Amino acid sequence: MTKSLKKQLIKIIIAALLFAGAFFPLPQMIELALLVAAYLIVGTPILLKALRNIRNGQVFDENFLMTIATFGAFALQEYTEAVAVMLFFQVGEFFQSYAVNKSRKSIAALMDIRPDYAHVKRGKELITVSPEDVKRGEIIIVQPGERIPLDGTIIKGSASLNTSALTGESLPRDVSEGENVLSGSVNLNGVIEIKTTSIFSNSTVARILDLVENASSKKAQIEAFITRFARYYTPTVVIIALVLAFLPPLLGSSLGIKEWIYRAITFLVISCPCALVISIPLSFFAGMGAASRCGVLIKGGNYLEALSRAEIFVFDKTGTLTKGNFKVTNITAFIGSKETLLQNAAKVEGYSHHPIATSIKQAWGHKTDLKDISEVEEIAGCGIKAKINNQEISVGNKKMLDKYNISEPKIEKNGTILYVLYANKLAGYIKIEDEIKPDAAQTISLLKTHGVKETVMLTGDRKEIGHKIGKKLGLDTVHTELLPTDKVTKIEELLHKKAPNGQLIFVGDGINDAPVLARSDIGMAMGGMGSDAAVEAADIVLMTDEPSKIISALKIAKKTIFIAKENIVFAIGVKLLVLALGALGYASIWAAVFADVGVSVIAILNAVRLLPYRPQI
């Protein structure tokens, strides 16, 4: 609690005690004195503010209206009500500040990933500097318990890292020499030496902080609606209050001017739109906070709102639904055994670092002994030829077969096929496929249960491969063999197809996706850490490369909008109800105090409920 909040709380407590004292059977003069004292303790700042604002021409200001309402109640000799209005108004204000401060703090804590210092090795010395002063390519040392200050590559040591602040992932990640690490993760054990690959302002941690800090400037439609509503609400209520106070008595109402002024006062007490004006942005703020805790960065309330109306989800294939790394899924040998075929292929590819070569070596699993290999020759566009113990072996694609005038065998080409030739005879083939991410199928089916009407995959890959994956994952539509410009065309077709209010969301890994990300209603980039382009172009960044995070984001978005709408209906509903009852003489000032302060408190509590929300998938 801040100092000024504490001071306010003390004032409220003293005033409340005096106020309670006035309920004891005491001489009237003492009772009145207690009430006036209570009023002045909590009311003075409001009175002063009201005066100042009138000087500045701010008539429809809540302080001024509260002043008028309480003065009116005093004039009607409704002393307890007058004090109650002021006291509870302050209680409401106090609670608002407290709740706002608290959620600000808890979001700041979520984002407490800013490293304070870096130990940098300069010459023989190890000096501690601010992360901003470390240059790219310098060597830094991170001790156990410290936060990694800059992105880089480990050159010495190994450790477990806690990346939860970045990814929402609670399991530690083990890293060792040669691996890249991101700033913002915490080193749990082990000393590591890191060669930095970026300066601080370009590092992951700085980019995330920047993104989160600027998120709240893009407002959702509901927020804009509330601000507009507030602009008309107060003047309207005040004008009705004026009319209510003076028109019926002038028309000769039998109830008398006192009764009508009392009713007008109930109006003034409810005239502040605080509950709405504060709880709606608070819901969005809390929703974005909860999302970032799950490893989903949302760049504005408007995107959260749009996400809740998702109608079509369009996915990129490689790197988004599939891992983008290749795996051997089938080995067929026409000559000799499968093992020999694989071993020979692994040896021939022994020197290559191509992803396909890596996958074959991985499938072989043993260290490839390259002693008996000679005359390795890469045949551009075809494959590799080499001699193993003087036997000529080539590994390559269909063009390799053409070279030897071998006709292509009839096999299902739903993957990359690598042919192995012994001299000029086809010995067999190895099929390599991109691995589907473990949570991809579940994500696609869950999208449907969350109201998404269509799921689409766009890929530049071959027809057989695209459709096989599409079927496995249960996607509605698959478009294959697309060039980047074709992808944009497809997106435009889909945009025409969707309902006017529905949203098209594109999910990609951020590489080569910029035009599509920009063209979609919402662009979602996956595995945002490390890729500048993705963080720049996307509206929503999934920090890990798990598609299931989309479901988390969707759930949070829906819940946020639900709570925001709930608050609007509840707050406007109660206010209108009490206004109506007040005009008819059925609502007392006490009811009005509830409609003002009570509703604010309930709406705020409802909004804050989002902060600890962690969707289960």
Q: Which residues bind other proteins (CB under 8 A)?
A: 52, 56-58, 62, 96-97, 100, 103-104, 107, 213-214, 216-219, 227, 230-231, 272-274, 277-278, 281-282, 285
Strand order in the sheet with 454-458: 296-298, 540-542, 522-526, 503-508, 310-316, 454-458, 477-479
Smallest distance, other proteins to C-beta of residue 105, A: 11
Smallest gap from Cβ 505 to other proteins, in A, equals 24
Q: Measured from the CB atom, is 282 or 342 closer to other proteins? A: 282
Q: How far apart are CA 92 and CA 89, in angstroms?
A: 5
Residue whose C-alpha is closest to residue 274's, from 65, 587, 5: 65
Nearer of residues 27 and 57 to other proteins, judged by Cβ: 57
Are 150 and 159 contacting, i.e. CB atoms less than 8 angstroms apart?
A: no
Q: Which two tokens stand for residue 21?
A: 């004292």
In the complex, least distance from residue 220 CB atom to other proteins, rounded to whole angstroms: 12
Buried residues in 429-443 as b, exposed as e (16+ CB within 10 A):
bbbbbbebbebbbbb
Q: Which is nearer to other proteins, 184 or 301 (CB)?
A: 301
Cβ distance to other proteins smaller for residue 219 or 490: 219
Neighbours of 352 (CB within 10 A): 17
**363: exposed, middle or buried (Cβ count in 10 Å: 0-12, 13-18, 19+):** middle
What is the identity of the amino acid at 85?
A: V
Say if residue 254 is exposed, middle or buried (CB neighbours under 10 Å; 0-12, 13-18, 19+). Answer: exposed
- Residue 365 CB neighbours (<10 A): 10
Token pair, residue 436, equals 């589907």
Q: Is residue 228 classed as helix, strand or coil in its secondary structure?
A: helix
The distance of closest approach from Cβ of residue 508 to other proteins in the complex, given in angstroms and rounded to an integer, is 26
Helix axes 599-608, 274-293, angle to 10 degrees: 10
Distances (CA, A) of 319 to 255, 437, 438: 75, 9, 13
Helix axes 599-608, 549-584, angle to 10 degrees: 180
Give the nearest distance from C-beta 103 to other proteins in angstroms. 8
Shortest Cβ 100–other proteins spacing (Å)? 7
Task: Considering the complex, state which of residue 57 and residue 381 has its C-beta at the smaller distance from other proteins.
Answer: 57
Closest C-alpha among 465, 494, 156, 463 to residue 313: 494
CA dihedral for 119, 121, 127, 133, sign (positive or negative): negative
- The DSSP secondary-structure symbol of 254 reads T
Cβ closest to other proteins, residue 180 vs residue 214 = 214
Using a 10 angstrom Cβ sphere, with 0-12 exposed, 13-18 middle and 19 or more buried, the burial of residue 581 is middle
Find the catalytic residue in 61, 151, 316, 521. Answer: 316
Count of beta carbons in the 10 Å neighbourhood of residue 492: 12
First to last CA, the chain: 36
Q: Which residue type does 231 have?
A: R
Q: Residue 451 contacts by C-beta under 8 Å, 6 or more apart in sequence?
A: 310
Nearer to other proteins, 4 or 616 (CB): 4
Q: Which is nearer to other proteins, 456 or 597 (CB)?
A: 597
Whether 316 sits among the annotated catalytic residues: the reply is yes
Of 213 and 492, the one with the shorter C-beta distance to other proteins is 213
Residues carrying an active site annotation: 316
